[in-house]
Amino acid sequence: MREITVAVVQVAPALGEVEENLLKMSDYLERVCLEQGVDLVVFPELVTTGYECGVRFTDLAERVPGHTVNLLARRASEFGVHVAFGMVVKEKVESILYNAQVLLGPDGEVIAEYRKLHLKGEERLAFRPGYRLVTAETAFGVVGLAIGWDLAFPEVARGLVLEGAELLAVSAAYEEPQQEEWHTFLRARALENAVFVAGANRVGEEPSYTFFGGSAVVGPRGEVRTLVDEPVEGYAVVRVDLDEVRRRREESQILQCRQPQAYRAVVKKY
């Protein structure tokens, strides 16, 4: 058995207040990790800045590593936990920004950085899309990274699974009235790939959006293992056995029975 404990945390970031948000994340890390031993904690999309920052994203963006990553890395090391969270990152050219997700290891190292592929609505005005999927080797198994609207594209989850992912860490900012969409995507991506999905969705209000939370961990049969059922700040923790992924795939043959030669239309642009 390869049992690990996974936590999904949903918070309401203060818009544009990075230090305030980092303090809140640090407090939640401490609460979750002192409650019980945890192997992975997943936070929402753009959790360090909030969502509707517009042109302010240019001033709020950081490099990796940088201040935000270094601070959270110290906390990850202190508690010996993996931490996945969303933030705005920039290249050496200051105007090139990405909606990104960072995975930190229990030694405080940056294990992986992923840049959101599928930008929705006004995100296209602020960010460039990423260009590749990212999986990360951890002490307990392979983690695939995804952000928000990536869940709507089955190719993302399937691509990560074909690269070896046993658990998908999803940082999200799904807003009302998309509750059914969020929960359906979480369960569908888990079921169709026989993979664990840990989705952290934010809460709170911003000028144009109200975010509903609904953070959850879903098992490889599409079953909800734990759920934050109210649209308030909080977290859910669950223990899972990653060996269930292998057993479910052997049982269903969901990957072995693929017919890739028939899927050429999937990778056509139009």
DSSP string over 29-70: HHHHHHHS--SEEE--TTTTT-S--GGGHHHH-B-SSSHHHH
Q: Mean pLDDT score of the chain, rounded to an integer?
A: 96
Q: Report residue 80's pLDDT band, with 50, 70 and 90 as the boundaries.
A: very high
pLDDT at 124 over 90: yes
**146 has which bridge partners?**
170
Q: Please tell me the distance from the alpha carbon of residue 172 to that of residue 93, in angstroms, as a whole number.
A: 26
Statement: residue 61 has pLDDT above 90: yes
Q: Which amino acid is located at 246 in the chain?
A: R
Q: Alpha helix locations (H) across the chain? A: 18-35, 57-60, 67-79, 123-126, 154-162, 179-193, 243-252
- Give the distance, in angstroms, between the CA of residue 140 and the centroid of all CA atoms in the same chain: 17
Q: Cβ(220)–Cβ(248) under 8 Å?
A: yes
Res. 39: pLDDT tops 90: yes
Average pLDDT of the segment spanning 190-214? 98
Q: What is the pLDDT of residue 125?
A: 94
- Say whether pLDDT at 89 is over 90: yes
- Residue 270 scores a pLDDT above 80: no
For residues 201-226, give the mean pLDDT: 98
Residue-wise pLDDT for 128-138, tens only, equals: 999 999 999 99
Check pLDDT > 90 for residue 268. Answer: no
**For residue 17, which of 54, 50, 45, 57 has the smallest C-alpha distance?**
50
Domains of the chain with bracketed CATH: 3-267 (3.60.110.10)
- The pLDDT score that the predictor gives to residue 1 is 81
- Paired tokens of 182: 């969020």
